[in-house]
Amino acid sequence: MEFISTKNFDSEAEKNVWNAIKRQFNEQPGYCWHRYPITRYSGLRLEPDIIIIHPEWGLIIIEVKGCYLENIEAIEGHTWYMQDWYKDEIEPYDQAEKHMWAILDRLKQFKHGFLRNEQGNCKIAGKAFVALPYVSEPLWKKRFQDHLSAPKWELIFSGDLEDEQLYQRIINSPIKQKYPFQEDSEEWKTAIAVITGSQGIQSKKRRPTKKQDSKAAFLRKVEEKIKTFDSQQHKVAVQTPAGPQRIRGLAGTGKTVVLAQKAAYMHVQNPDWSIVYTFYSRSLYEQIINYITRFVQEFSRGELEQPNWDKIHILHAWGGSEQSGLYQQVTAIVNTDFRNFKNAKSYFGTSSGRFAFNGCCGELLEHENEIPEIFDAILIDEAQDFGENYFRLCYELLKQPKRIIWGYDEVQSLEELDIPTAESLFGKDIDGNPLVSLDGVYPGEIEKDMILYHCYRNPRPVLIAAHAFGLGLRRRGGAVQFINTVGGWQDIGYEVEQVNSNELITGQEITLYRPKSNSPHLLEELVGYHNLIQYQNFENRQQELKWIINDIEKNIKEEELKPDEIAIIALDSRKKIAEQEYEYLYKGLENKKIQSVRIGTDTSADIFRSQGCVTITSVFRAKGNEASVVYVYGFENIAKSSDIVKQRNIAFTAMTRTKGWLTITGVGEESKLLFREIQGILEEIGRVKFIVPDMNKIQRNLETYENQRRRKRTHKAQKSLVQLLKDRADVNPEDLPLDQRKKLLKWLLSNNKDIDDLLSDK
C-alpha cells in the first residue's frame, strides 16, 4: 500500500492510528492518505483524517478522535455530547459518512458513470469508521453496548492498533466489495484517477478513425487508457514541504505537470499565500496556465472556475515587453535598470542567454538588502537552465520557511556542464553552513529530494536512444557524459545488470536495462519497439526538407493525423539559415494546402502549438513541449561543433519532444555515422551494452558528490541497523515492523548517528 501524508499530524491520536495502519497494511495493495482534501460539503472543502482505497475492500474513511471515555458524556443518535473537550457536541460517524458519500458520488459520476452499476450505485463499496485510540473496547461495551447507533464494526479501539487487530476489524466489517477489482483493470485505474486529481490530465476523446492501423488509430487506443499519476508523482503534487525541495527526473517524467499540480494544490489549500511558478522557455507559458487552471478546478471540486491570479503568478524568469517576468518585476521593486536579452548579452560579453541572465540576477543581488520577502512559495521549472544567481534571487524573495521547489533534469541542460549541488546553488550562511540542505525529511514524512522514475511521454525506445546518444555511450570516441555508479543509474529508472559493486570500473562491459514499468507507453506494444524511430539521410538540405514536407502530407492524409500533432525541430541554431529553412518548409507545406506556424515569427514565442497547424521551431523553443510526431532535421550539426556535450544535450532534448513517432534526418556522411550509433543503441530491446569510460576523459560527470554522499549515508545506516538487530540475540530484523524500521533509519540519517555511539555505554 502507498502511504501519503499531505501535512504534519495535528495530534498524537492521528499519528498513532496512521502508524498502526502503515504497520498492519504495508503489504496490501492500494493507497492510504492522511489529510487529503478530496471532499466538498455545503461549500466547505473538508479533509478526512484518513482515506484508504483498496481493490478488494473498497473505500474506507477513518475519522480519528483523540478523546478518552470520560470525555464522552452521552450519545444520542449520531450526536456525541462531550465534556472537557474542544466542542460540546460532535458527530464523528456522520462526518466520516459525509466524506464517504461525497467521494462515492464523485467516483460514480466520472466518465459518464463508468464506475456505476446497473442499479445506479457506485461499484466501489464504502465504509466509515471512527477511531478512538485512547478508548478500549471492553470499557466502551460496558458503557455503550446497548447503543444501536454505534455498533462495534463502526469503531476502532485502542486494542485494534496492536498486532493484526485493525486489519481483522476492517476485513470483517459487514460491507464488502461485491466485485473486487484487478489492479490493472480500467475500473481500478479510474478510481485512482478520480481520487488523485488525474482528471486534469485526461486526453480529449479523438474522433473515430477510418483505418484500424493508422497512427491516429493507435493514438486513439493510447488516449482511451485512463491516465493516473503514479504514487511518486502524486506525493510530489500534494505534499507541501516546510522548506526547500528538489524534484528530479528525466524528460517526460512529468515534472512540469506535477509542479503545476503542486502549485494548484497549494493555492487551493492556502488561498492567502502568494505563489510564483517560474520557468525558462517562453513557449511553456500557455501550457502551465492551462494545467494550473484545470488542477485548481479539480482540487476545489468545481468551486473555483479560475485561480486567483492576484495570488498565483505565472512568470517567465526574465520577462520583456510581451510577457512580465520575475526578474523584471524585482528590478521595478528595487528601482534599478532592467536589462533585456539583447542588452544583457552585450553588457556581459556573452552569446549565452543563460550566462547573461545569471549576470543580470547577480547585479540585482547587489541590492540584497532592498529585496523584500514577499512570496510564500516559488516553484522553478526547467531549473537546470538557470545559474545560481536566479536561485539566490528567488530565495531572497521568499518568506520563511523559504519554500523554494525546483524541477531539475541535468541531461536537458543545453548550456551548462557543471551539475550544481544545493550548496553551490544557494551558498552558505554567515557561519559557513549551507543555506539549503537536501538531507533528511520534513515533518509529515515529506522528502526534501524527490526523484520521478517513470517516463510517460516518450516510448521506451525513444528515451533509451535519446539518453544513450546524449551521453555518447556508443560513440566511436567514447562517452562524453557519464554516471559512474549503479545508484545513479537507478535514480533515473535503469537497472545495471550483472554488476556487484556500486562503482563502475573503467573498461568493464556493462548492460543497462530499462524496465517497461519505468517507460509504460502503450505504443511500444501496439507498433513494435523498432517501428517508432526512423532515419533518413540526404545529399543536401533542400532534398531533406522536401522529403519532410512529403512525409508530413502522408502522415496527414494516410495516417489520419491532424497538422497540430506534428512538430519540425531544427538543429542548426544559426538564425539566418534557420529562417531560410523555416520559410522553405512553410511555403512547401502551404503548397500542399497544409497550414504551419513558425514559433516566434507567425506566433508569439509564448505559444508552441496552434490549432490546425504544423509547428516549425528550434530546439530551444521546443524544450518542455511535445507532439505526437516529431521530425528532427539537420542532425549532422551534432557532429560539427567542438562543444560535443552541448550538442549531444540538444539532440537529447529534441528527440524527447515526441510522445509517439520520431523521425531523424540529416545530410552527408556525418549523419550516417550518427544514425549507425543510434541503431547500435537499439539493437537489443530495452537494453544497451557499452564499455565503461575512463572518468578522467569524461567531459561531464552526471553523478554529483551530493547524491553519492546521500546514498552512502543511507546504505551505511541500513547496514548499521541490520547489524544492531543481529547483535541482539532476542531480536530478528524481520520482526521489527516496517514503519519502525523506516523511522529508525530516518533517525539515523537525520541525526548522523554512528553505530558505535548507539552501542556505547554512555
Classify residue 550: in a domain, yes or no. yes
- Mean predicted confidence (pLDDT) in 520-530: 95
Residue 190 has pLDDT above 90, yes or no: no
Nearest-angstrom CA–CA distance, 610 and 605: 12
CATH number at residue 387: 3.40.50.300
Flag the least confident range among 232-246, 297-311, 521-535.
297-311
Residue 177 has pLDDT above 90, yes or no: no
Average pLDDT of the chain to the nearest whole number: 87
Q: What is the pLDDT of residues 200-246, one digit of tens each?
A: 676 677 889 999 999 999 999 998 876 778 888 999 999 999 999 99
Domain coverage including residue 658: 462-701
Distances (CA, A) of 356 to 346, 387, 637: 8, 10, 25
In this structure, the dihedral spanned by the alpha carbons of residues 561, 564, 565 and 567, taken in order and rounded to 10 degrees, is 120
Flag the least confident range among 102-106, 594-598, 611-615, 686-690.
102-106
Question: Peptide bond before 401: cis, by omega within 30 degrees of 0?
Answer: yes
Q: What is the pLDDT of residues 590-608, one digit of tens each?
A: 999 999 999 877 777 777 7
- Mean predicted confidence (pLDDT) in 12-34: 93
Residue 624 has pLDDT above 80, yes or no: no
427 with 475, same domain?
no
119 with 263, same domain?
no
What's the pLDDT band for 753 if we cut at 50, 70, 90? Answer: very low
158 with 135, same domain?
yes
- Mean predicted confidence (pLDDT) in 87-92: 94
413 with 509, same domain?
no
472 with 568, same domain?
yes
- Mean predicted confidence (pLDDT) in 5-25: 91
What's the pLDDT band for 724 if we cut at 50, 70, 90? Answer: low
614 with 627, same domain?
yes
Residue 572 has which C-alpha cell? 542548426
3-state SS class at 34:
strand
Angle, vertex CA 598, rays to CA 595 and CA 601, nearest 5: 125
486 with 605, same domain?
yes
Which strand ranges, in their side-by-side order, compose the sheet holding 155-157? 2-5, 31-34, 50-54, 58-64, 126-132, 155-157
Flag the least confident range among 98-102, 149-153, 616-620.
149-153
470 with 420, same domain?
no
Classify residue 223: in a domain, yes or no. no
With CA atoms as reference, report the closest residue to 583 among 601, 571, 567: 601
Nearest-angstrom CA–CA distance, 632 and 569: 5
CATH number at residue 29: 3.40.580
